[in-house]
Chain A
Amino acid sequence: MPDPTNPLIVQSDFSLYLEVFNPKFETVRNGITKFAELDKSPEYVHTYKISALSIWNAASSGIDIEDIVSFLDQWSKIDVPKNVITEMRTIYKRFGIVEILKCDNDQNRLILHIREKNLETEVLSNPKLKKFLLDKISDGYYHIDLLSRGTLKVAFFGYNIPVNDIAGYSPSEPMTINLRQTSSKGVPFALRDYQNWAVDAFYQSGSDMGGHGTIVLPCGAGKTIVAIGIMAKVQRYTLILATSVAAVHQWIREILDKTDVSPDMIGEYTGDKKEIKPITVSTYQMLIYRKNKESDFPHFGVFQARKWGLIVYDEVHLLPAPIFKITTEIQSTRRLGLTATLVREDHHEKDVFCLIGPKKYDTPWKVLEKQGWISEAKCYEIKIPMDENDLMDYLTSDQKSKFNIAAKNPLKINALKDIMLRHPNAMVLVIGQFIDQLEEVSKVLNAPLIIGKTPNAQREELYKKFRNGEIRALVVSKVANFSIDLPDASVLIQLSGTYGSRQEEAQRLGRILRPKENNVSYFYTITTKDSLEETYSHNRQRFLTEQGYGYEIESWEKEELL
């Protein structure tokens, strides 16, 4: 029954507001994530959305619709709108009407089962859906091609028909992976609670309902560990796709550190090495490499090189289009997507849901920060004036040049030095978009520079020195946006970025979120006041502000700068 002391408001447009400062918040949040998607999580009110997809996800996890209805009733402040309940029941019913089943007598085919006559007629009358049906077995049963499994699901979803894929996975090669009790450095190791929940949400006790989906966790919250936990559950040959060679090495380091897998079982498939082992780690760039636009992808063979039991897509929000394409053809393999920000600037989130799998676990960044699992981040935007010499140029330039002039404002280097003085003993990352700007900064700070053309070996060496504390500051280009694990970095100074990219901002913050001794990190962005850069900066901050991060904005005058 509605109770004004409850924290939940259910609205007729299927949005849910959850009050954060309510004693019942934790209980309700844990329940709500099973059937609603987290939309925004700023400081006072978290917004969730019930969508067809979230209801079908709940249905696929075996949650009963009546349990959802009574949950909403129990925790709602006001009456739950009747239309929401009616509509949820209708949507829920659609799940399971169409299923993909195993075809026992033909390994290259699957069976599509349409339970309702009307829907069968609808499918048959729609050429875009009918084309997937090879031949009719009996009423409601059709053969489909094994390779069209992914595209069929995407196409049916486009017509609001969820396909319950319970054909299971192709036989794959087994291997033994056990998690260590203590890491190789002798530190006690066990999955954290939320990591265990994420593993269980994905694995679903090994049933065909599980085994595909995306885990969304903040940077530094241990997504790699979640993946390793899943690998230990699945116990199958695993292919891991990462964003860079440095990330590949990190994956290998982590697996060796946290499991009993021996080094000879792990292979690196990159430009330097071409190893295919029971656990193989490669990069997206490697797999999508080809001589020209017309030629084949020579490294796609990796997908068929072994009978993989699990494919891990690291930073799934960056998945390139050719990988999407091949993923449609490997739907018989378990697929795990990992990301901190399921925000794709190209709006392909839906493809991630259909082809990799639905979001299986998500938790607000601030919740993990509160629990101490990620570092507390203090975000600052430092606004500095435009250099007088540049002002006239700026005013008379086109938009692109305006952005360049503002982003490369020479006074940023003065501000940067000033910030460095605030943190005399901290490990600092300086990140930027423009190479010439970064080269100058590197000279001024006398700090090494890592950019795209820096050889991998040299990068590794510099990262290693930074981790060991031999180098206090590193100047990096966007190559360090993702997957670089520099646990002790506690200050990041952002000089410039890719226009208004929310995802880049969040990923960059992620570089300094690993928990540390005093557990506080500082994220600075230097922008030019009264310029286009401010507008971009405001947009960049949107994802993090929706996660509840409050930026402190300081305006520095020229006279105040060093």
Chain B
Amino acid sequence: MTLLDNLNQEEIQHLYELFFGPILVKHQNFSYLDNIITLLSKPNSIKTYLDKLNTQEKRVLEYLSRFRIISETFLKEKLNIILDMPLFLIEKIISVLIAKNFIFRRGDSLVIPQIFYMIDPPDIAEEQMPAAEGEYFPKAMTDVHNMINYFICQGFSFSNQLFLYKKDFQLTEQMFDNYAVLSGNEYNFVSYFFANAFLSDGQRLNLYQLKTFFAMNILDRAMYMLEIISPNMYSIIRHYNQTGKNVKISRECLFYLWEQTLLLQEFDYAPLRVTFDEIIKFLVNMEIIEQDGDQCIIKCWTAFAPTRKSELKISTNFNLFMNASALRSDQYVPVLFADMKNYNSIVECEITENSVRRGVINGYTYESFCKFLKDNEVVLPQNVDSTISQWFEKHGSYYYTTGTVFFCNTKAKAKIIQNLIDNGYVKAYELKKDEVYIIPEEDKDDFFRFLDKSGINYFSKEPNIRKAIKRNKVLDMESVLSGE
């Protein structure tokens, strides 16, 4: 592999033009590549050209030079995180570097000649240590669970970066500041996670995803969250966890790995704007990393606190109490029908007409509510019981939906569709158990494409519309004949 073998002929010609300008008359044996190589053999030859760039352009080029070719998808967002430069500036610098033939655009990637900066990767020295002792259950996860619950009942909408808007941030701070170990920007990490993991179309709560998350054990929940908020850091942690040991690594090396993996990471959605220091602080809170001077210990947990039932109480005044550090698989359920009022060692919620309405809108039913109470052996005061059932009825009596209605003729056929939905292959909502589903308009194409691919046959049955037949007016012959 030579320094320029990642460039095609056209790119090599452009690179030549960077150094020597356009060539008008070409000698028969002329080679762009040979001329560039000759130039490169002279000491300090490149420096002259690099000096034509300003400091910021040089910084960007230096980072890009770590790669022979790099995808341009979310590249400026990644560089924005690493270099802390505004997005518009990064975009402009990349355009300048391309225009000046320092780098080249090929499809949705950038091709970088390996001649400007020679970067030697540092030696990554690791030291393996015994795995973490005890059960994994950091206080930060208690905060995360309850913050998810808080976001569910508040129904916040989030900024473009999926952060909390200022007012909502203040509300969250008021609620959590007293008792949470998470603070400041970490609230935004949770909002980013929440919006990506549990909201469909940026707004609608996805109960299935919520259920799946809370069905996980606590360690998997933490890793899943990390995977969403910092997939590159997740790759690093997962890699070292596979050794089955705690691994000690210098902060400097970890930083290099973080930068490198962030630039290489493929994102389906914009990456969370989180700096290395912030993510390390967060991981320390999450007890995934421990800091020891300038060394970091990546912890490998082999045991975790199990999910268990914990006491729930609902009083006559519609207040619901639950232990904040409860670790349950149905931890999110109370806030589907109640509003969180206080977060501390005991979480206090209040069931109101509005909170029940919110639950109904999110697809939560009175039957699920009763089942939840039964599963948790909660005895509901009579006044609460009858009022809530009435609220469910009041707010659930009428509803409408838009989309394509999909019918299954048998229960067995419906089960296949239900499986596809549950496994996330297609998106549709059950309208009538084991029989009728509705496919949202925006998911219709994907739904039928998947059925076509899977060999599931179906047909379109239009409703019989009773329409009057168009008829022309019949002449009154009497009046025609009488000449009137």
Contact = CB atoms under 8 A, between A and B. Distances in A.
A530 B394 contact: yes
B323 to A, nearest CB: 10
Interface stretch (B34-42, B339-347, B420-428): B339-347
Contact of B316 (A17, A42, A47, A381): A42
B321 A545 contact: no
A13 B316 contact: no
B344 A12 contact: yes
Interface string B323-364: 000000000000000000010111010000100000000000
A43 B383 CA distance: 13
Interface string B164-175: 000000000000
Nearest to B180: A12
Contacts of A43: 315-316, 381
A48 to B, nearest CB: 13
Given A535-B353, A541-B383, A44 B179 contact: no
Contacts of B344: 11-13, 15
A203 interface: no
B319 A12 contact: no
Contact of A553 (B179, B348, B386): B386
B193 interface: no
B353 A553 contact: no
Q: Which of B316, B348, B394 has the most CB of A within 10 A?
A: B316
Contact of A9 (B317, B346, B390, B394): B346
Contact of A545 (B179, B316, B346, B390): B316
Interface residues on A, range: 20 to 34
Interface string A44-78: 11010000000000000000000000000000001
Nearest to B344: A11
Contacts of A379: 383
Contact of A44 (B315, B345, B382, B390): B315
B387 A546 contact: no
Given A11-B179, A553-B383, A40 B346 contact: no
A548 B381 CA distance: 10
B178 interface: yes
A390 to B, nearest CB: 18
Interface in A1-35: 9, 11-13, 15, 17
A78 B345 contact: yes
Contacts of B390: 529, 534, 555
Contacts of A542: 317
A40 B316 contact: no
A9 B323 CA distance: 11
A550 B342 contact: no
A551 interface: yes
A45 B383 contact: no
A538 interface: yes
B317 A17 contact: no
B58 interface: no
A545 B345 contact: no
A54 B383 CA distance: 33
Interface string B383-424: 100110010001000000000000000000000000000000
A553 B361 CA distance: 25
A13 B387 contact: no
A529 B397 CA distance: 15
Nearest to A17: B346
A404 B315 CA distance: 31
Contacts, number: 72
A356 B321 CA distance: 35
Nearest to A84: B178
Contact of A555 (B321, B346, B353, B386): B386
B179 A538 contact: no
A436 interface: no
A559 interface: no
A11 B387 CA distance: 31
A12 B344 CA distance: 7
Contact of B345 (A11, A42, A529, A549): A11
B221 interface: no
Nearest to A545: B317
B342 A40 contact: no
B313 interface: yes
B175 to A, nearest CB: 10
Nearest to A380: B383
A552 interface: yes
Nearest to A552: B382
A72 B192 CA distance: 39
B353 A550 contact: no
B318 interface: yes
A454 to B, nearest CB: 34
Interface in B358-387: 381-383, 386-387
B334 to A, nearest CB: 15
A12 B348 CA distance: 14
Nearest to A83: B178
A44 B353 contact: no
A530 B394 CA distance: 7
Contacts of B348: 47
Contacts of A530: 394
Contacts of A15: 342, 344
Contacts of A381: 383
B342 A13 contact: yes
B346 A11 contact: yes
Contacts of A548: 315-316
A42 B315 contact: yes
A381 to B, nearest CB: 7
B317 A13 contact: no
A555 B394 CA distance: 14
Closest 3 CB pairs of A and B: A42-B315, A11-B344, A551-B383
Interface of B: 178-179, 313, 315-319, 321, 342, 344-346, 348, 353, 381-383, 386-387, 390, 394
15 contacts: A11-B345, A12-B178, A13-B344, A15-B344, A17-B346, A43-B381, A45-B313, A535-B353, A538-B353, A541-B383, A545-B316, A545-B383, A548-B316, A550-B382, A551-B383
